[in-house]
Structure 1
Amino acid sequence: MSDLFPTRRDFMDFGRRFFDDALGQNFGDFGQFKTDIIEKDDAFVVEAELPGMSKENIELDYKDNVLSITAKKETESDERDDERQYIRRERSSRSFSRQFIIQDIDEDNIGAQFDKGLLTITLPKQNPTPSNSKRIEIE
């Protein structure tokens, strides 16, 4: 029955919960995008979801066994109502970046395609050998 009436803590948490929920739903995770890494016999395939981006705004880099994906998007809009002489100008800039350690890659044959918001990167293995696991005894 006591949970029917709001407590002081409920009121103090209201602002945090309101903005966390509202911003989380509208803006998602800042700096993150959904990524899948698939291991095949001869390559790793990285699939990154970047809806609304263009391939000109995406940078890929592979250095020291680290794959870096960076995407930037800038938007600008102007509105003018001549009757009221009202002017509104909005600008926004978003940047996303992820890094993954992927070793033993044939750097000269890395390929990438971008189609309908899905970035697909193929990283061929340098020496495609099956990995053998070794059981380690605990002393």
Structure 2
Amino acid sequence: MLTLFDPFADFYRNAPARRRVAAPDGYLRPAVDIHERPDAYEIQAELPGVATDKVSVNVERNVLTILAERNESTDTTDEKTGFRHVERVRGTFRRSFTLPDTVNADAIDAKLADGVLRVTLPKRDAPGARKISVSAA
């Protein structure tokens, strides 16, 4: 079905190029997948090595923001650890999404397991057309 207005377009418009890690604002950007089911949307964000207490999911003014922090407790300089090459990313991860009006923001649920954050965004019941009766004054 072709529509002129897609209320979920911001999800796709804000998606980074594949495997791009750092954003212009200095935050790291976790890779995300977004699925739509009949009853809900689900965001899956890659957050390997991030502890549950270092993840926050907030909704304000219809914008969902995922913040996470991954830091190593040990010094990672060559002299102390012997690392010759480091690819694992440390720092603050952030992604924000404008939610469509069909999301029930009061019922959003988030779970972190096996390095993947799953945020479930239940849909509201779509308002259907209804007939308004007219009475005499």
User: If the length of structure 1 is used for normalisation, what is the TM-score?
Assistant: 0.59
8 Å CA contact 1:71, 1:96 repeated in 2? yes
CA–CA separation in structure 2 for the residues paired with 1:41 and 1:129: 15
| Alpha-carbon distance between aligned partners in 2 of 1:33 and 1:78, rounded to the nearest angstrom | 23
| 2:115 corresponds to 1:117 | yes
Q: Does 1:29 align with 2:27?
A: no
Describe the superposition over 1:24-76 as per-residue Cα deviations: whole angstroms up to 9, x where unpaired.
xxxx6221111011111111111111111111101100111111001112223
Q: Which structure has the highest strand share of the two?
A: 1
Name the structure with the higher helix share.
Answer: 1
Structure 1 residue corresponding to 2:37, chosen from 19, 37, 40: 40
Unaligned runs of 5+ in 2: 1-19, 23-27, 82-88, 129-137
Q: 2:66 is matched with which residue? A: 69
Residue identity matched to 1:29: V
What residue is the counterpart of 1:98 in the other structure? 95
> Higher relative CO (CA 8 A, sep ≥ 6), structure 1 or 2?
2
Quote the RMSD (CA, aligned, Å). Answer: 2.8
Aligned partners of 2:69, 2:122: CA distance in 1, in Å?
27
- 1:128 Cα shift? 3.9
Q: What is the deviation of 1:88?
A: 3.9
Structure 1's consecutive aligned runs of 4 or more residues displaced over 3 angstroms after TM superposition are none
Within-5 A mapping of 1:79-98: 88=80, 94-98=91-95
Change (3 A) 1:78 1:125: closer
Pick closer, same or farther for the CA change 1:78–1:36 going to 2, 3 Å. Answer: closer
The TM-score with structure 2 as length reference comes to 0.60
Residue type at the aligned position of 2:21: D
How many residues align? The count is 96
Larger Rg computed on CA atoms: 1
User: In the alignment, residue 54 of structure 1 is paired with which amino acid?
Assistant: A
